[in-house]
């Protein structure tokens, strides 16, 4: 394969030195958080990964290339940009050829990470099956990507705005292992407990890395989803969030929000309805995921 990849100076050096690398997505920067917290968070999370002994590779599409690792000015440009496309598997090739700036979702980041030979990726929450999907058919392409691209994705579970039982069913049917870190309950993004059981549980980064390697030895396609609970001090109880989620979902329906706009709309409404508390929690959980991903990357090395 001959993908148009542009590595940052830091990632080139890391590759030459054989250091562990953790991929980071960019949709969380452009569509998941408001400016300037999005840029501050992107920088802090990158530093968390360095402090934990790995090298961060934030991924985005710019200037006809897949950028693996963003230079500081590129990160700033992306965080401030308006009209950035949200890119999933369906859009990524077209975005590169048309020269547009695009932010990669979990699905697109997995594709780019794999092309760049990076096996671990940290984010906040993956996309999943939306509530009412039996009518809307709105199922995130993140799930199909986990079923086919061999990257271990560390998230805090699927976002609580989704239909979690249906999301778990689709993951199971697609053969995606969901490994909960350190507890028996599946976490739900802003909350530690979704009320659903953990399909699999690991208590160390080494166990997760070993399972990743074993999947390759068995010739199994696809990645792993690691569900890492938000730190206790930062969680928002599910009961506090439930009415805000319900209100945001009703508004999305009344306003006819659909397709790619659903997730960004819900996240920004919940941010407003919780007076910013959802963002504080979101930042804490992404940082927590970055640290675990760095530990897994070191074990894989
Ligand atoms: N997690 C966050 N904030 C986000 C997202 C995830 O904390 O903004 C993004 C990811 O890029 C994920 C996408 O892939 O939302 C899912 O969008 P959709 O539901 O349209 O597939
Ligand atoms: Mn969707």
The response to whether residue 163 sits with its C-beta less than 6 Å from ligand 1 reads no
| pLDDT at residue 160, rounded to an integer | 79
Whether the full predicted model's pTM is greater than 0.95, yes or no, is yes
For a mutational test of ligand 1's pocket, the pick from 107, 111, 123, 288, i.e. the residue with the most ligand atoms closer than 8 A to its C-beta, is 123
How many whole angstroms separate alpha carbon 136 and alpha carbon 162? 13
| pLDDT at residue 278, rounded to an integer | 94
Residue tagged active-site, from 15, 86, 145, 159: 159
DSSP class of 56: E
pLDDT tens, position by position, for the chain (301 residues)?
A: 799 999 999 999 999 999 999 999 999 999 999 999 999 999 999 999 999 999 999 999 999 999 999 999 999 999 999 889 999 999 999 999 999 999 999 999 999 999 999 999 999 999 999 999 999 999 999 999 999 999 999 999 878 789 999 999 999 999 999 999 999 999 999 999 999 999 999 999 999 999 999 999 999 999 999 999 999 999 999 899 999 999 999 999 999 999 999 999 999 999 999 999 999 999 999 999 999 999 999 999 9
Specify whether 25 is catalytic. yes
Query: Ligand 1, closest atom to CA 27?
Result: 11
Considering every ligand atom, which ligand is closest to the CA of 154?
1
The residue whose CA is least distant from atom 5 of ligand 1 is 28
| pLDDT at residue 39, rounded to an integer | 96
The residue whose CA is least distant from atom 17 of ligand 1 is 127
The response to whether residue 124 sits with its C-beta less than 6 Å from ligand 1 reads yes
What is the CA 156 to chain-centroid distance, rounded? 9
How many whole angstroms separate alpha carbon 66 and alpha carbon 255? 34
Considering every ligand atom, which ligand is closest to the CA of 142?
1
| pLDDT at residue 21, rounded to an integer | 98
What does the longest C-alpha to C-alpha distance in the chain come to? 53
DSSP class of 176: -
What's the 128 CA to ligand 2 centre distance in angstroms? 8
How many whole angstroms separate alpha carbon 50 and alpha carbon 190? 25
Domains annotated on the chain, with CATH:
5-300 (3.40.1790.10)
Query: Ligand 1, closest atom to CA 162?
Result: 19
pLDDT tens digits for 234-287?
999 989 999 999 999 999 999 999 999 999 999 999 999 999 999 999 999 999
The response to whether residue 287 sits with its C-beta less than 6 Å from ligand 1 reads no
The response to whether residue 26 sits with its C-beta less than 6 Å from ligand 1 reads no
pLDDT tens digits for 142-170?
999 999 999 999 999 878 789 999 999 99
């Amino acid at each position: 394969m001959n993908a148009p990849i542009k590595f940052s100076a830091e990632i080139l050096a890391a590759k030459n030195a054989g250091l562990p690398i953790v991929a980071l997505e960019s949709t969380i920067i452009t569509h998941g958080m408001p400016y300037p917290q999005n840029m501050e968070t992107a920088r802090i999370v990158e530093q968390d990964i360095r402090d934990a002994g790995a090298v961060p590779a934030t991924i985005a599409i710019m200037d006809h290339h897949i950028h693996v690792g963003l230079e500081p000015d590129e990160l700033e440009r992306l965080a401030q940009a308006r009209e950035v496309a949200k890119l999933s598997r369906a859009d990524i090739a077209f975005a590169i050829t048309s020269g547009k700036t695009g932010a990669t979702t979990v699905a697109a980041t997995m594709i780019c990470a794999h092309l760049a030979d990076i096996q671990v990726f940290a984010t906040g929450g993956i996309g999943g099956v939306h509530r009412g999907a039996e009518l809307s058919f709105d199922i995130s392409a993140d799930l199909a990507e986990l079923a086919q691209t061999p990257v271990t994705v560390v998230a805090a579970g699927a976002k609580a705005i989704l239909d979690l039982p249906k999301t778990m069913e689709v993951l199971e049917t697609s053969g995606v292992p969901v490994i909960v870190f350190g507890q028996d309950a599946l976490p739900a993004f802003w909350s530690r407990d979704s009320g659903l059981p953990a399909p699999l549980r690991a208590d160390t980064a080494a166990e997760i890395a070993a399972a990743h390697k074993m999947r390759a030895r068995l010739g199994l396609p696809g990645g792993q989803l690691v569900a890492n609970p938000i730190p206790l001090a930062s969680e928002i109880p599910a009961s506090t969030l439930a009415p805000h989620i319900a209100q945001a979902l009703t508004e999305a329906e009344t306003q006819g929000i659909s397709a790619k706009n659903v997730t960004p709309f819900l996240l920004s409404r919940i941010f407003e309805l919780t007076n910013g508390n959802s963002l504080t929690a979101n930042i804490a959980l992404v940082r927590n995921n970055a640290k675990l991903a760095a530990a897994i990357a070191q074990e894989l090395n």
